[in-house]
Amino acid sequence: MYQSKWRSLTNHIILILGSLFMIMPVWIAFASSTHTREFLFQNGLQFMPGGHFFDNYGKILFDQSATKGRVTALQMLFNSMVLGLGFAIGKVIISMMAAYAIVYFRFRLAMPLFWVIFATLLLPLEVRIVPSYEVVAKLGLLNSYTGLILPLIASATGTFFFRQFYRSVPDELLEAARLDGAGPWRFFIDILVPLSVTMIAAIFIIMFVVGWNQYLWPLLMTTDDQLYTIVIGIKQVYNSLYEGGQIPQFPKAFALTIMASIPPVLVVVIFQRMFIRGLVETEK
């Protein structure tokens, strides 16, 4: 394609500026997280890393007194991992099964159940947080992984994704399988699941990131420090920044921020192709 030198040059300049716009805040946070708090307090945010990387990160990862609560960042990372994986696995399994029933079976309640599932798309958790909290409290699930994960799974995004995909699977497959005497379980396990592997991977990546990044629900659910996710930990540290008349703990807050971002960002960058495919095809 014809392209003038000038156009190509401006393209690069614009893209570099755009990339800097995205990266600068994170870079500043990283550089600032490797200085002592006294240094930051006197000299402001830093653009160049300092010499306290291992010191600051080590303390926050392993020393309970470094965070405000009695929980290490390592524990918070573990909790986030449980939430991210639990959310992704639960969502994939449940929505694959529900979509299978809806697409491949003729049954009386198919339509009403489909509409119930559809209705969950209308009302995100955010608009029903107070009653959801009460329900989970009544069930005695506050401060538990179950209470953290299950209510988040109650939405139909995944189901719609798999429904779409199953509908694109050729009908001949089912005909052939039935001629060979395969029942519903066999067809699902031996044919449909293997066919869906790339789809499963794509949706799994997106759901892991979405689960890891949950904020409002874990914030309400967890009053026990031991169950804080790393994203919640950031808020706790940030809230206590100015407590006690000491020099604010900016490096600590930044270190937590960096640690909270590394796992989901790595997942998205490493599995970029699958991730983009999943995102664009589900249309959220």
Q: Which of 71, 98, 203, 221 binds another protein (CB under 8 A)?
A: 98
Q: What is the spatial distance between Cα 51 and Cα 34, in angstroms, rounded to a whole number? A: 6
Is residue 102 a contact residue for another protein (CB under 8 A)? yes
Q: Which of 57, 87, 100, 162 binds another protein (CB under 8 A)?
A: 100
DSSP per-residue letters across 199-215: HHHHHHHHHHHHHHT--
Q: Which of 75, 159, 196, 282 binds another protein (CB under 8 A)?
A: 159
To another protein, the closest distance from the beta carbon of 4 in angstroms equals: 9
Q: Answer for the pair 184, 193: CB distance below 8 angstroms, yes or no.
A: no
Q: Which of 95, 196, 222, 282 binds another protein (CB under 8 A)?
A: 95
Is residue 18 a contact residue for another protein (CB under 8 A)? yes
Q: Which is nearer to another protein, 225 or 271 (CB)?
A: 271
Is residue 244 a contact residue for another protein (CB under 8 A)? no
Q: What is the spatial distance between Cα 284 and Cα 269, in angstroms, rounded to a whole number? A: 18
Q: Which of 151, 161, 204, 282 binds another protein (CB under 8 A)?
A: 151
Is residue 236 a contact residue for another protein (CB under 8 A)? no
Is residue 89 a contact residue for another protein (CB under 8 A)? no
Direct distance between the N- and C-terminal alpha carbons of the chain, in angstroms, rounded to an integer: 33
Q: What is the spatial distance between Cα 91 and Cα 89, in angstroms, rounded to a whole number? A: 5
Segment 48 to 77, residues that bind another protein, using CB under 8 A? none
Q: Which is nearer to another protein, 81 or 94 (CB)?
A: 94
Q: Which of 66, 148, 234, 255 binds another protein (CB under 8 A)?
A: 234
Residue in 83, 126, 80, 87 with CA at minimum distance from that of residue 234:
80
> By CB neighbour count within 10 A (0-12 exposed, 13-18 middle, 19+ buried), where does 247 fall?
middle
To another protein, the closest distance from the beta carbon of 78 in angstroms equals: 17
Q: What is the spatial distance between Cα 80 and Cα 73, in angstroms, rounded to a whole number? A: 10
Q: Answer for the pair 69, 228: CB distance below 8 angstroms, yes or no.
A: yes
Q: Which of 67, 79, 132, 222 binds another protein (CB under 8 A)?
A: 132
Q: Answer for the pair 80, 249: CB distance below 8 angstroms, yes or no.
A: no
Binding mask 249-278 for another protein (x = CB under 8 A): -x--xx--x--xx--xx-xxx--x---x--
Q: What is the spatial distance between Cα 54 and Cα 249, in angstroms, rounded to a whole number? A: 16
Residue in 136, 275, 277, 118 with CA at minimum distance from that of residue 210:
275
Segment 169 to 228, residues that bind another protein, using CB under 8 A? 171, 174-175, 178, 184-185, 209, 212-213, 215-216, 219-220
Question: Which of the ranges 52-60, 63-71, 151-159, 193-201 carries the binding residues for another protein, by CB under 8 A?
Answer: 151-159
Segment 29 to 48, residues that bind another protein, using CB under 8 A? 29, 40-41, 44-45
Assigned token pair, 5:
């030198």
